[in-house]
């Protein structure tokens, strides 16, 4: 019985651990979740939905309009009877049914160009959605890396705390043996307190980084999530440096906001064609069915009012025809509309140019940041190696009683600062590389 209980206990632990491991969030999972739930992406998607409706409306503008009508009322005084077209002088009840069809045959290619424009506008909003997703992915990657950095920093502080604690224990033994003075322990006790404070600060940084990640993912900040641990995360310092022109050429071909701006230029050009269509004649067709009833319409033989539906059948009529409308003068509305559309092209071109200039400057800044981060990482690693050697030497001298505990803790604090600098430089370099991937249209990963 006891064995069964112990077995179930360990089984539950295993299931719980497996569930927790399964709940870990990889960077890919975080990005996918953020893209699906980001308010920024949702807004861009709604704009795309509106563009789809505009396109649908433009397509249906080719179809004719069909309208039915019903009229019912009373005529007073001298009026025309719509069934006999004779004058009545007594109040007459009358009603009518109608069915009218109207459509456009030619309208200066405005309908055709409006359909083209709506398709281009839809493509532009699709690029806007892609841009929103890319922006969210980059922000999530930055927050994800911030958590990894904070966790590694905490690990450094915890490791240092354990070293200081061991040194403190060794110092107590040496004091007890009469090798060191009693006050030799105070510097190490103070260092242990600082190490504990650094651990608390590091944990707070982890918590804040998680909050930022959850906000980007549109997750309730009170919900607990745990990102996937990335073992042995390193960056390749031998990567060949990219050139501005190479990255820029990749960016202008892949950045959705640039492609969207170019599409909006095309849309503005179609806008001019639509506006110029107002200078052309409009050819349309129409057709209709009409039928009337009047209480004054009587059968001559019986002097009785002809029944309602009999009247509707007897008075039914139809018409069909073509209309041609030639624009002559409309208060310069068409001309001004063309000029406004032409200005729209220049506005769209300027917007694209501004985006391209901003993109190029951002890429140059990103490349400069990558070079600086790479150099900083190399220098930090050299400094860390030298500092570790210095700490090892100081510890040996401390054990021999050549240096005091204050000197030992001083070099150890220098080591902590140096190792923290290495971590920051590593993650800074890694994120700068991710920014270049972002501009080149590459997937953002950290493995």
* Most confident stretch, 81-85, 237-241, 249-253: 249-253
Predicted local confidence at residue 58, as pLDDT: 94
Give the CATH number of domain 24-63+109-280+331-439; options: 3.60.110.10, 3.60.20.10, 1.20.1600.10, 3.30.210.10.
Answer: 1.20.1600.10
Q: Are strands 282-294 and 92-106 parallel, antiparallel or unpaired?
A: antiparallel
**pLDDT tens digits, one per residue of 12-67:** 444 344 334 447 898 899 999 999 999 999 999 999 999 999 999 999 999 999 99
Q: What percent of the chain has pLDDT over 90?
A: 44
* Res. 172: pLDDT tops 80: yes
Residues of the chain with CATH 1.20.1600.10: 24-63+109-280+331-439
Least confident of 77-86, 243-252, 331-340, 427-436: 77-86
Average pLDDT over residues 123-137: 95
Average pLDDT over residues 240-259: 89
Average pLDDT over residues 135-152: 89
Predicted local confidence at residue 262, as pLDDT: 96
More confident residue, 50 or 230: 50
Instruction: Give the CA distances from residue 431 to residues 119, 249, 383, 446, in Å, rounded to whole numbers and listed in that order.
Output: 37, 21, 22, 9
pTM over 0.95: no
Average pLDDT over residues 190-196: 88
Average pLDDT over residues 316-341: 92
Least confident of 74-78, 86-90, 282-286: 86-90
Predicted local confidence at residue 20, as pLDDT: 42
| Distance (Å, whole) CA 104 – CA 81 | 33
> Is 283 in contact with 106 (CB distance < 8 Å)?
yes
Predicted local confidence at residue 238, as pLDDT: 61
Predicted local confidence at residue 151, as pLDDT: 87
Q: Are strands 282-294 and 87-88 parallel, antiparallel or unpaired?
A: unpaired
* Res. 161: pLDDT tops 70: yes
Predicted local confidence at residue 114, as pLDDT: 95
Average pLDDT over residues 256-273: 96
Least confident of 1-15, 405-419, 423-437: 1-15
Measured from the Cβ of residue 183, the count of other Cβ atoms closer than 10 Å reads: 10
Q: Which residues of 297-331 are buried (b: 16+ CB within 10 A; e: fewer)?
A: beeeeeeebbeeeebbeebeeeeeeeeeeeeeeee
Give the containing element (helix H, strand E) for 246.
helix 244-254
Predicted local confidence at residue 237, as pLDDT: 64
Average pLDDT over residues 336-363: 95
Q: What is the DSSP letter of 307?
A: P
Average pLDDT over residues 291-298: 84
Predicted local confidence at residue 75, as pLDDT: 81
* Res. 5: pLDDT tops 60: no
Predicted local confidence at residue 230, as pLDDT: 75
Mean per-residue pLDDT of the chain: 85
* Res. 302: pLDDT tops 50: yes
């Amino acid at each position: 019985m006891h064995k069964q209980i112990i077995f179930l206990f360990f089984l539950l632990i295993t299931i719980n651990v497996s569930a927790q491991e399964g709940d870990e969030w990889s960077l890919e999972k975080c990005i996918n979740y953020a893209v699906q739930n980001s308010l920024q992406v949702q807004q861009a998607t709604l704009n795309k939905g509106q563009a789809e409706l505009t396109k649908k409306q433009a397509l249906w503008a080719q179809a004719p309009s069909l309208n039915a009508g019903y009229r019912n009322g009373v005529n007073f005084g001298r009026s025309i009877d719509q069934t006999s077209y004779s004058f009545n002088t007594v109040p007459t009840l009358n009603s009518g049914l109608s069915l009218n069809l109207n459509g456009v045959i030619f309208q200066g290619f405005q309908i055709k160009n409006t359909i083209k424009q709506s398709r281009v506008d839809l493509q532009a909003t699709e690029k806007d959605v892609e841009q929103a997703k890319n922006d969210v992915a980059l922000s999530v990657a930055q927050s994800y890396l911030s958590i990894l950095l904070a966790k590694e920093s905490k690990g450094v502080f915890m490791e240092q705390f354990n070293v200081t604690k061991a040194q403190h224990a060794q110092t107590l033994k040496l004091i007890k043996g009469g090798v060191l003075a009693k006050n030799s322990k105070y510097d190490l006790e103070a260092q242990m307190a600082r190490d504990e404070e650094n651990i608390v600060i590091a944990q707070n940084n982890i918590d804040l980084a998680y909050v930022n990640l959850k906000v980007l993912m549109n997750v309730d900040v009170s919900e607990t999530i745990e990102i996937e641990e990335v073992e042995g995360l390193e960056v390749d310092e031998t990567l060949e440096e990219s050139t501005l022109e190479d990255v820029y050429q990749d960016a202008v071909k892949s950045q959705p906001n640039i492609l969207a701006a170019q599409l909006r230029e095309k849309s503005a050009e179609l806008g001019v064609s639509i506006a110029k269509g107002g200078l052309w004649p409009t050819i349309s067709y129409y057709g209709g069915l009409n039928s009337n009833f009047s209480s004054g319409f009587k059968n001559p033989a019986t002097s009785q009012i002809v029944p309602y539906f009999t009247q509707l059948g007897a008075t039914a009529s139809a018409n069909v025809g073509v209309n041609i409308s030639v624009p002559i003068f409309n208060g310069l509305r068409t001309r001004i509309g063309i000029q406004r559309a032409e200005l729209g092209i220049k506005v769209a071109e300027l917007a694209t140019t501004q985006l391209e200039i901003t993109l190029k400057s951002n890429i140059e800044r990103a490349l400069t940041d990558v070079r600086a981060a790479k150099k900083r990482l190399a220098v930090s690693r050299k400094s860390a190696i030298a500092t570790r050697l210095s700490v090892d030497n100081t510890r040996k001298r401390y054990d021999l009683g050549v240096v005091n505990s204050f000197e030992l803790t001083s070099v150890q604090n220098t080591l902590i600062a140096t190792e923290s600098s290495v971590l920051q430089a590593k993650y800074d370099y890694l994120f700068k590389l991710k920014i270049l991937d972002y501009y080149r249209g590459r997937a953002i990963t950290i493995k």
